[in-house]
Amino acid sequence: MSKPSVGDRVPESCAPKPGLETSSTTLPQSRWRIYLDNAATSWPKPATVYDAVDQTQRHCGAAAGRGAYRHAQQAEQLIATARVACARLLGVEAPHQIAFTENGTAALNLAIHGLLSRGDHVVTTVCEHNSVLRPLTTQRERNGVKVSYVGCDPVGRIDLDAFREALGPHTRLAIVTHASNVTGALQPIAELASMVRARGGLLLVDAAQTAGCVPLNTESLGIDLLATGGHKGLLGPLGTGILYVRPGLEAQLHPLFQGGTGTHSQTDSQPAEMPQRLEAGNLNVPALAGLAAAANYLQQHTVEAIGQQIARRCAELWHGLHAIPKVRLVGPDPSQPRVGVVSCRVEGYDPQEVAAGLDATYGIQCRAGLHCAPRMHQALDSLSLGGLVRFSPGWATTADDIESTLNAVRAFAGG
């Protein structure tokens, strides 16, 4: 069975439209590679993403907003195009309310450290990534911020009653991951937003596992701030991230960085308006050109269709693993609200042994360990076991990839 080149792989339900480029320079591969770590970063990217990065590097090469000459204006237009394309994907009316960052972690830090002050109360969950947990620990230690951690059920769904009870009259911020990066469980954001709003608080959503995979309308869901990386489901390059700030809220958000923005250079204060308020210094123009190309690809093929494609691969993987005697799955079954993350343990093996063995012997690349979510693993009783093995199909994962993975796990587990 021959492996298709990375530039040619597209979802079976997302056949390219006429005129859409789908082939480009392929990456060198020494052997068959089945990539199932899309929850960390998506690979491969659509060919247009590689081309956009390369063309920007080779033929533009200028900084955005730092000159009136032609190529500087071209760089600025590339950024504007990326902002509009991402706003459209995320259901944001005003593109300037989107600030670009270097990753999702930076976006979360901008929101958390920018909003909180001494004595504030935060409600969050045990499902969160260290990109939330560690900034909150810093706020607790430095500013005496009080943090309440809401639990979850055995598949990673937030306890809604406990969440409601944790909210109080002095709750400044609630932070919730839209979907667990460990179990794939999807959280009811609209319901959570309504609870937070009723108490006068703000809701920050970590959409790292859902942006580009689950249709999002940030404003209709009642989200005040949304953070995500641009390199996972959004299919952009590494080094890209997004923070959406609800209109009017930017005045309450203190920028963590100050510096050149290309505007208001005569003042020694950071500009008050978005996105310059949060975008000090040069932006990563080539990567954002790639993100714009990725967003356009998602618009053309639709998030719904790509999400359904990933869901099919996830269901095939889940049911196949469920039938292997020594495999113990963790997370909701495919009939429940979830994203394309399938985690498990193999009896008798450390998770790292499984991941290393699958890669070395079968060329299957997955993630093992705690996935930067220690409280979630503690809630799932997998912390002391070294975590779990996580498979995360992506937009280009094929049914053959899943079949090969299941055959490899059967051989490895002896089932």
pLDDT digits (tens, 9 = 90+) for 127-159: 999 999 999 999 999 999 999 999 999 999 999
Angle between helices 47-59 and 285-301 (to 10 degrees): 150
**Per-residue model confidence (pLDDT) at position 261:** 67
pLDDT score, position 66: 74
| pLDDT for 292 beyond 50 | yes
Main-chain phi, psi angles of 170, to 5 degrees: -105, 10
Two tokens, residue 114: 């920018």
pLDDT for residue 13:
40
Burial level of 70, CB count in 10 A (0-12/13-18/19+)? exposed
Q: Can you name the CATH fold of 54-300? A: Aspartate Aminotransferase; domain 2 (3.40.640)
| Domain edges within the chain | 54-300, 302-413
Measured over the CA atoms of residue 132, residue 138, residue 140 and residue 144, the dihedral's sign is negative
Strand order across the 146-150 sheet? 98-101, 241-245, 225-229, 202-206, 171-177, 121-125, 146-150
Name the pTM for this structure: 0.91
**Predicted pLDDT of residue 80:** 94
pLDDT at 215: 97
The domain defined by 302-413 carries CATH number 2.30.110.10? no
Residue 180's nearest CA partner among 153, 162, 160, 200 is 153
Q: Render 368-386 in DSSP notation, one character per residue.
A: EE-TT-HHHHHHTT-TTTT
Crossing angle of helices 285-301 and 303-322, in 10° steps, is 80
What span, in angstroms and rounded, lies between the C-alpha atoms of 225 and 276?
A: 17
For residue 405, the model assigns a pLDDT of 98
pLDDT given for residue 257 in this prediction = 86
Contact (Cβ atoms closer than 8 angstroms) between residue 101 and residue 239: no
- Give me 237's structure tokens: 């390059």
Instruction: Please determine whether the domains at 54-300 and 302-413 fall in the same fold group of CATH.
Output: no
Tell me the two tokens of residue 136.
Answer: 């909150």
On the CB side of 311, how many CA atoms lie within 13 Å of its CA? Answer: 20
Between residues 281 and 176, the one the model is more confident about? 176
Measured CA to CA, the distance from residue 60 to residue 52 in angstroms comes to 11
Which region among 67-71, 181-185, 310-314, 357-361 has the lowest average model confidence (pLDDT)?
67-71
For 64-81, what is each residue's pLDDT tens digit? 877 778 877 888 899 999
Describe the crossing of helices 285-301 and 70-90 by its angle, rounded to 10 degrees: 40
> Cα separation of 65 and 67, whole Å?
6
pLDDT of residue 271: 76
pLDDT bin (cut points 50, 70, 90) of residue 6 is: very low
User: Average of pLDDT values for 82-92?
Assistant: 97
Give the pLDDT confidence score for residue 387 in this predicted structure.
Answer: 97
CA distance 401 to 3: 10
Other Cβ atoms within 10 Å of 86 Cβ, number: 28
Tell me: pLDDT of 2 over 50.
no
Query: Do residues 53 and 287 make contact, with C-beta atoms less than 8 angstroms apart?
Result: yes
The mean pLDDT value for 3-21 works out to 37
H/E element holding 165? helix 160-166
Backbone region of residue 100 per phi and psi (left: phi > 0; alpha: psi in -120 to 50; beta: other values): beta
